[in-house]
């Protein structure tokens, strides 16, 4: 059985980190799939998907990490191409990656106790982000 | 057909890297699935899954890379929240990501010759790590 | 339904970045799968898969990012093991990861407008890269 839904998430710019676990869990429940996988993919080249303990300190740590590793306040070749000045957003997105795959067991996402699924909007402006959620199982 | 198993792996702390290829391959054999995919997901927010050539030199290189990029001997905002001092573990885990998906062909994981599936325990202590392995195919 | 194909991509060495979206899209069309997922996995421990806006400026930015974060012109423990001097290639590959999973909707990859699927060959020489593409759906 295949069950597909698209969710739209409103995000702020500059490394906004949004917990999307509840929205995904709701889709799992609706699907009535007992055992299988849930593939989560963000459309766009300036956003990423990963998991984390969604907590204020870590949210701040993660933003600092990206700022240190791929700073926003310098110039990238991409910025010369499009004059958008979001080269840093693209690099961060390619590094984190657009997708993860989580197991479904007994119609629940099989996550750790302190593990949430997060969307990261790296772009330099607010965006409505589209996430494709595909469940496959019995 | 869906085939689900959970494996428990004993790990040391501080970037222990464990080759879990044989355990996953054993599950593929037991499932008798000929063609499909194998999704591997680690529960918890201080561990990651990736692939590498599992070799002593590279294991050391990878530990050094994480220590250079996300050092353990500094303070993170997360550490102030929980007094656990494992902020570095969380950041490394979110960067590597919790899941990969490997193809199954002829009831074998379709990996490169020098490519192993590894679990990385980034936490600052030994942990029993739970990995959810879900196979889907014919 | 499971549909499996292997594609071979010729790459240059030292962080060659190749857009493989059209080849994957062709497999999706051939499969006639309407709704489902497409798992893309590169065999080998010195290559990675991610998505990006495939554009000359960003290609250059991404190469610079890897050179800054995991430089090729220094020595790694791995280099002492095999005398291959490609320790940097392995670290970059483990960081990016070998796989992504994209949704299929109406027999199309569900990607963003400026989002392409790319293969990164991090090795220090040209390689024929093998990518396993597995589709599951209806």
Contact between B112 and B122 (Cβ < 8 Å)? no
Of A36, A104, A112, Cβ closest to residue B44: A112
From chain C, pick out residues whose CB is under 8 angstroms from the CB of B52: 45, 90, 93-94
In whole angstroms, what is the distance from residue C88 CA to residue C122 CA? 8
> Is the per-residue pLDDT at A82 higher than 80?
no
Contact between B20 and B118 (Cβ < 8 Å)? yes
Mean pLDDT of chain A: 97
The shortest C-alpha distance from B82 to chain C (Å) reads 28
The strand order across the sheet containing A116-121 reads A16-19, A116-121, A47-52
What is the tens place of the pLDDT at every residue in B34-59? 999 999 999 999 999 999 999 999 99
Distances (CA, A) of A54 to A29, A61, A64, B78: 22, 11, 15, 10
The shortest C-alpha distance from C114 to chain B (Å) reads 23
What is the tens place of the pLDDT at every residue in B91-113? 999 999 999 999 999 999 999 99
Confidence category of residue C81, pLDDT binned at 50, 70, 90: confident
In whole angstroms, what is the distance from residue B61 CA to residue B58 CA? 5
Determine the pLDDT at residue A69.
98
> Is the per-residue pLDDT at A83 higher than 80?
no
Class of the CATH domain delimited by B2-137: mainly beta
Mean pLDDT of chain B: 97
User: Which chains pack against B, by 3+ Cβ pairs within 8 A?
Assistant: A, C
Helix boundaries (H) for chain C: 21-31, 56-69, 77-82, 87-96
Distances (CA, A) of C11 to A110, A113, B59, C42, C122: 38, 42, 26, 13, 10
Average pLDDT of span A108-137: 98
Interface contact B77-A61, CB threshold 8 A:
yes
Share of chain A above pLDDT 70, in %: 100
- Closest residue by Cα to residue B89 from B131, B42, B22, B38: B42
Confidence category of residue C82, pLDDT binned at 50, 70, 90: confident
Contacts of C138 (CB under 8 A, 6+ apart): A2, C1, C33, C34, C35, C36
CA Rg, chain B, in Å?
16
Q: Give the residues across from C48 on adjacent strands.
A: C120
The shortest C-alpha distance from C80 to chain A (Å) reads 28
Of C69, C90, C99, Cβ closest to residue B53: C90
Instruction: Find tokens 């085939």 and name the residue.
Output: B3
> Is the per-residue pLDDT at B72 higher than 80?
yes
> How many secondary structure helices (H) and strands (E) does chain C include?
4, 8
DSSP three-state, residue B2: strand
Domain ranges of chain C: 2-137
- Closest residue by Cα to residue B66 from B112, B124, B19, B115: B124
In whole angstroms, what is the distance from residue B49 CA to residue C7 CA? 24
- Closest residue by Cα to residue C17 from A91, A48, A71, B103: A91
Lowest mean pLDDT among A112-126, B14-28, B43-57, C80-94: C80-94
- Among B39, B41, B92, B103, which would you mutate to test the C interface (most chain C Cβ atoms within 10 Å of its Cβ)? B103
Residues composing chain A? 138
DSSP three-state, residue A94: helix
Long-range contacts for A70-78 (Cβ within 8 Å, ≥24 apart)? A70/A95, A70/C65, A72/A14, A72/A124, A76/C57, A76/C58, A76/C61, A77/C56, A77/C57, A77/C58, A77/C60, A77/C61, A77/C64, A78/C53, A78/C55, A78/C57, A78/C58, A78/C61
From chain C, pick out residues whose CB is under 8 angstroms from the CB of B53: 45, 78, 90
Confidence category of residue B84, pLDDT binned at 50, 70, 90: confident
Interface contact A100-B98, CB threshold 8 A:
yes
The distance in angstroms from the start CA to the end CA of chain A is: 6
- Among C93, C98, C120, C131, which would you mutate to test the B interface (most chain B Cβ atoms within 10 Å of its Cβ)? C98
The shortest C-alpha distance from A54 to chain B (Å) reads 9
Average pLDDT of span C86-110: 98
Interface contact B93-A51, CB threshold 8 A:
yes
The strand order across the sheet containing A99-105 reads A2-11, A127-137, A35-42, A99-105, A108-109
Contact between B83 and C13 (Cβ < 8 Å)? no
Of B37, B64, B97, Cβ closest to residue C97: B97
What is the tens place of the pLDDT at every residue in B114-123? 999 999 999 9
Average pLDDT of span C11-21: 98
Confidence category of residue C80, pLDDT binned at 50, 70, 90: confident
Determine the pLDDT at residue A105.
98
Contact between B127 and B55 (Cβ < 8 Å)? no
Determine the pLDDT at residue A72.
96
From chain B, pick out residues whose CB is under 8 angstroms from the CB of A64: 77
Interface contact A97-C56, CB threshold 8 A:
no
Confidence category of residue A84, pLDDT binned at 50, 70, 90: confident
What is the tens place of the pLDDT at every residue in C19-73? 999 999 999 999 999 999 999 999 999 999 999 999 999 999 999 999 999 999 9
Confidence category of residue B70, pLDDT binned at 50, 70, 90: very high
Interface contact A61-B87, CB threshold 8 A:
yes
In whole angstroms, what is the distance from residue B35 CA to residue C102 CA? 18
Of B41, B76, B133, Cβ closest to residue A57: B76
Interface contact C115-A98, CB threshold 8 A:
yes
Query: Does an H or E element contain A96, and which?
Result: helix A87-96
Q: If you ran DSSP here, which 8-state letter would residue A53 be given?
A: -
């Amino acid at each position: 059985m295949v069950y597909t839904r698209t969710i739209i998430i409103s995000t702020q710019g500059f490394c906004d980190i949004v917990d999307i676990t509840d929205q995904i869990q709701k889709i799992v429940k609706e699907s009535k799939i007992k055992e299988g996988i849930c593939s989560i993919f963000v459309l766009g080249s300036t956003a990423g998907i990963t998991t984390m303990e969604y907590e204020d300190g870590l949210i701040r740590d993660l933003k600092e990490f990206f700022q240190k590793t791929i700073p926003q306040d310098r110039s990238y070749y991409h910025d010369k191409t499009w004059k958008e000045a979001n080269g840093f957003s693209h690099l961060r997105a390619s590094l984190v990656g657009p997708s993860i795959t989580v197991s479904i067991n007994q119609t629940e996402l099989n996550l750790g106790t302190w593990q949430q699924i997060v969307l990261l909007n790296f772009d330099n402006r607010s965006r409505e982000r589209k996430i494709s959620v595909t469940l496959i199982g019995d």
